[in-house]
Chain A
């Protein structure tokens, strides 16, 4: 009981998150049964016809399911890799800056885009890569022909990954910057006395100190292998880039909400959740083994 009185403000802070979790993640889970039914809204989830694995079988017969799965994995893996590397490089470079005021300014500016939603960001991205956008102005300056970036299936994945990294790298660098403040300054001093130059300091002190953080973040992001970012892709894509840009989440959205195939959409969503769950369990094990990270 004493623990409760000391910690009650923590519980209070936890409350909104828990309410959110129950309302939006736990309660809707009962809807999963729709994946095994021929769902009829009039009869509800308790009385609709039970069809077992039919929806899943049908899903894998569709040509689309293969395409969207491949697209999802490629985009998501691309994002995971670049979300690890770019912020890391950025944090190290920023850490080398000696002018504190400039350092803070840069940090603030680069993490601002994190707070904009994709609805707004997409307008900006389409503006930049539009036919008369900045990107084409640059291309023309070097004598190239203007092209329609947003309609180029060969570039769409790169565009999605690139703009997402651009939006998030400043924010993601915060964890690395925090880890960097924890590095013992004596190590640098000692190395400097031994005659190490800047590059050697980074190579032999900064990077090894960050290794566990990198491994941890990398392993934890495994659970996102099927999360390619609905908001972003939905706001950027068009029929011309379906072949490389259509992902599981946008596919489910079109199936369920636009074509009213509720059961099929649920099946596709459940498929994604199950794979993600397995990946999360694996990543948790790995994180424990290699980075000594535990939640429970």
Chain B
């Protein structure tokens, strides 16, 4: 299983195979968990997964974070067909959540019509990237919240000119050497530190397969709007508004947590969960989240797929084991809210996130009602609710958030229980834009999966894309190199792949 090396919440004496979650499974369900291997989050874990698929030796259960791992294992015949087992043993709550995606989650978890994995289902807002900005800096400079790209440009310049984050103030933080300038159809959510809202404001959707409406598709990176956005980003970089070390940093979060940066882009959890150290370093860091609008006042957003991780069950697993894994998922969905999460829930064996697509927006609105005294926490005491964390959050919210409730700032939040603080901050500040402001244009990718030709040719095309985009932003290549990239991309398999994706439209 995957382990976060920076996590220190496991009590002394407990281990990955003996902790409150494994004991819970043992006591309630008589499920014994044996951990085959562990690896740190990120590349280490991917590498282990890749090796165990390559060697054909899967553990009975394993969570993978990339659909191509699932399809590779499935096409190699390594996976348990859980179509019937799932119908038989999944709880009604789990099935309800699956249904809330209108069949997209089931399709995502299946290979050639058979269900071969437990999908995770994450909230839609994981794919809605917003602008995070230091409101306290804006207030000090007496500036309004920037709405459009030209506003952002002026604001970032003002932050830098006034040394708001010290001598090395960074106007806008950006991707690291391991992350990407924008989310793509293969990794369509949780792109912390990318420039997604900037592209959205220019009506550009790079990395997405766009339906042209006439039976043809376009790869979003190749469009004129993407080119214009890249020219704009290159201009910002040249003016020193974007982190000079963009694309080469080890960690996206470094300048943000060091409180050197005034603006960054990311999904709802990037403020709160994502930048905890920023608040520890400066409890007055008033990060606020807003949409970025196009010049004609539209909020355009590219939407994500249902989920991005998959629990694989080995073909060689005993039926009882396969059953147990499905039950472990039921148990987590039902009881997660009752767990003492001071021990990170990541220690739950084969943890699989399942949430109704609109869970965060629902919680935002209901928690606000609780705060204003319109409802009581007990009103949410409904076992097996679709919104599994609601009751627990309703009981906590007043401990964390202090009045007045109209305009929440970091000063309203109590950080004593830091875990609770992070959750409430992300929910009430980070999800506020998506919960309260209607999106003008939602863009879905025609597909979120690889086509057959992509399996061999995508790596090369993606490398070309990454290289071109970063070089243009950093001013190492002229904007005209974009045209050559488009030509090369098409010639080296892009056209072939585009035809395959267009074929998918017909279904």
Contact = CB atoms under 8 A, between A and B. Distances in A.
A and B together in one complex:
yes
Interface of A: 40-44, 58, 62-64, 123, 126, 130-132, 146, 148, 150-153, 238-240, 242-243, 254-262, 264
Contacts of A62: 460
**Residue among A40, A123, A254 with the most chain B CB within 10 A?**
A40
A42 B78 contact: yes
Given A58-B456, A148-B245, A148-B474, A123 B250 contact: yes
Contacts of B47: 257
B335 interface: no
Contact of A148 (B46, B72, B76, B244): B244
B411 interface: no
B50 A240 contact: no
B492 A63 contact: yes
Contact of A41 (B56, B177, B455, B467): B56
A39 to B, nearest CB: 8
Given A41-B54, A260-B69, 6 more contacts: A41-B53, A153-B476, A240-B476, A257-B50, A260-B72, A262-B54
B68 interface: yes
A240 B244 contact: no
B223 interface: no
B248 A238 contact: yes
Given A62-B460, A132-B168, A150 B248 contact: yes
A261 B73 contact: no
A125 to B, nearest CB: 12
The 10 residue pairs across chains A and B that have the minimum distance between CB atoms: A42-B76, A42-B77, A238-B177, A41-B56, A239-B466, A150-B248, A259-B459, A41-B76, A131-B244, A257-B50
Contacts of B75: 40
B56 A130 contact: no
A240 B46 contact: no
B85 to A, nearest CB: 20
A151 B76 contact: no
A151 B247 contact: yes
Contacts of A131: 244-245
Given A239-B467, A258-B50, A40 B459 contact: no
18 contacts: A40-B76, A41-B53, A41-B78, A42-B77, A64-B460, A64-B463, A131-B245, A150-B248, A151-B470, A239-B247, A239-B467, A239-B470, A256-B50, A257-B47, A257-B50, A260-B53, A260-B72, A261-B456
B23 interface: no
A148 B248 contact: yes
A296 B66 CA distance: 50
**Residue among B77, B177, B315 with the most chain A CB within 10 A?**
B177
A43 B76 contact: yes
A29 B315 CA distance: 27
Given A151-B474, A151-B476, A238-B177, A42 B56 contact: yes
B425 to A, nearest CB: 30
Nearest to B78: A42
A250 to B, nearest CB: 11
Contacts of B245: 130-131, 148
Nearest to B176: A238
Contacts of A258: 46, 50, 459
B396 interface: no
Contacts of A256: 50, 54
A87 B248 CA distance: 31
Interface string B50-77: 1101111000000000001100110111
A131 B248 CA distance: 10
B114 interface: no
A37 to B, nearest CB: 13
A69 to B, nearest CB: 15
Interface of B: 46-47, 50-51, 53-56, 68-69, 72-73, 75-78, 168, 177, 244-245, 247-248, 250, 315, 455-456, 458-460, 463, 466-467, 470-471, 474, 476, 492
A240 B471 contact: yes
Contacts of B46: 257-258
Contacts of B168: 132
A50 to B, nearest CB: 17
Contacts of A44: 56
B460 A63 contact: yes
Contacts of B455: 260-261
Contacts of B77: 40, 42-43
A61 B28 CA distance: 57
A56 to B, nearest CB: 14
Contacts of A146: 244
Contacts of B458: 259
Contacts of A153: 476
B54 A126 contact: no
Contacts of B53: 41, 260
**Residue among A123, A131, A259 with the most chain B CB within 10 A?**
A259
A123 B54 CA distance: 31
Contacts of A242: 463, 466-467
B247 A238 contact: yes
A185 to B, nearest CB: 52
A7 to B, nearest CB: 39
Contacts of B78: 41-42
Contacts of A150: 248
A58 B76 CA distance: 22
Contacts of B56: 41-42, 44
B331 to A, nearest CB: 30
A245 B213 CA distance: 42
A260 B50 contact: yes
Contacts of B315: 42
A249 B463 CA distance: 16
Given A240-B248, A240-B471, A261 B459 contact: yes
Nearest to B56: A41
Contacts of A254: 459
Contacts of B247: 151, 238-240
B112 to A, nearest CB: 14
B358 to A, nearest CB: 33
